[in-house]
Structure 1
């Protein structure tokens, strides 16, 4: 992934650089003497994803980013085993409708079975991130959604085992969009047997009582 920082949407470029493995986009901006004011857009440029953000001067205060989780305590590492380095860019959506907020439940193939999150997944080769959220919403919930805007970017870094058993030095970058669903229907999981066990519309009155993952709850606290 490449990151481009501008002064205002459509304004002058302040810097452009490649996001290193395990590097938080906010830290990349901070190291140039700026704060990440807000993400603006993400688009595909050949085999790369370019993230454009708005930067603003910072006052050298405390930068709050996610700390690398290090080695997963449940991952048993064999002597001499070297983790494979992997950076995964994914896109998720906060989908609103008259029926509530669209949610997906994690299956037992994940580390958080039974908890709830947002529809989304990895950006496929040749795919725009906005295409990813439309496709994933259909596969995981059966809903037709319309992207509105990019609202957040998250970074997480740890060493652990993938579902296939491979030990990975894993850097997850999550692009989070706001989206609408003009014609909500009863959710149906089409991608059966994967990481999604169920899907539903969570009524607005039930948001606080839903068992969200910690990352999802922090996103909803910021953007709803």
Structure 2
């Protein structure tokens, strides 16, 4: 279980989205939404607010739930075994209320930045970014992206 936040703002000349750059276990780096895994017993709203603060330096206020994404992954593990991963990603819309943008140190991300929404298609990003943007734009009744 994980919780993520779509933060969009109007800036001079562009609509921008807040993204963080995730460091994959293999060392690769791709842009993602601020957020991450829930701690045992932690409320998903608290997770989302905490993760935004950890990864960006900002305090976020959540506006609403915009969707839930369910993913399944099967990938190789050592000794020829395979992991069967199932994840639920809760996606909120949020707005920044305080703080100063900064990068996370010694965490799962290394950069935080605002990007023009129209330029996101050109970024090396995880699929969750596109899912979050679609949820934010369409507000589907069942909270699920069409993809």
TM range (shorter): 0.7 to 0.9
Distance 1:197 1:116 in 2: 10
Q: Distance in 2 between matches of 1:161 and 1:130?
A: 32
Q: Which residue of 1 aligns with 2:17?
A: 101
Q: For the structure 1 residues 177 and 214, does the alpha-carbon distance in structure 2 shift closer, same or farther, using more than 3 Å as the test?
A: same
Partner of 1:144, secondary structure, is strand
User: Number of residue pairs matched?
Assistant: 130
CA–CA distance in structure 2, aligned partners of residues 185 and 206 of structure 1: 23
Correspondence 1:145-160 to 2 at 5 A: 145-160=60-75
Where 2:41 maps in the other structure, the secondary structure is coil
- Indicate how the Cα distance of structure 1 residues 181 and 134 shifts in structure 2: closer, same or farther if over 3 A, else same: same
Tell me how far 1:223 sits from its aligned partner: 1.8
Alignment RMSD, CA only? 2.4
SS at 1:127 equivalent: coil
Alignment partners' CA distance in 1, 2:8 and 2:99: 9
Choose between structure 1 and 2 for higher RCO, CA contacts under 8 A separated by at least 6 residues.
2
1:209 alignment partner in structure 2: 122
- Gaps of at least 5 residues in structure 2 are 138-147
Alignment of 1:34-49 (within 5 A): none
**Partner Cα separation in structure 2 for residue 206 and residue 184 of structure 1:** 25
Q: Answer 1 or 2: which has greater strand percent.
A: 2
Give the TM-score, by structure 1 length: 0.51
Give the alignment's TM-score, normalised by structure 2.
Answer: 0.75
- Once the two structures are superposed, residues 24-75 of structure 1 have per-residue CA deviations (whole angstroms, 9 ceiling, x without a partner) of xxxxxxxxxxxxxxxxxxxxxxxxxxxxxxxxxxxxxxxxxxxxxxxxxxxx
CA–CA distance in structure 1, aligned partners of residues 72 and 93 of structure 2: 24
Question: Does residue 143 of structure 1 match 2:58?
Answer: yes
Q: Quick one: distance in 2 between partners of 1:92 and 1:119?
A: 6
With over 3 angstroms needed to count, the CA separation of the structure-2 counterparts of 1:96 and 1:142, relative to structure 1, is: same
Q: Give, in whole Å, the separation in 1 of the partners of 2:58 and 2:86.
A: 29
Aligned counterpart in structure 2 of residue 134 of structure 1, from 49, 58, 83: 49
In the alignment, the residues of structure 2 paired with residue 148 and residue 142 of structure 1 have an alpha-carbon distance, to the nearest angstrom, of 19
Query: 2:87 matched to 1:175?
Result: no
The structure in which a higher percent of residues are helix is 2
3-state SS of 1:145 partner: strand
2:59 is paired with a residue of what secondary structure? coil
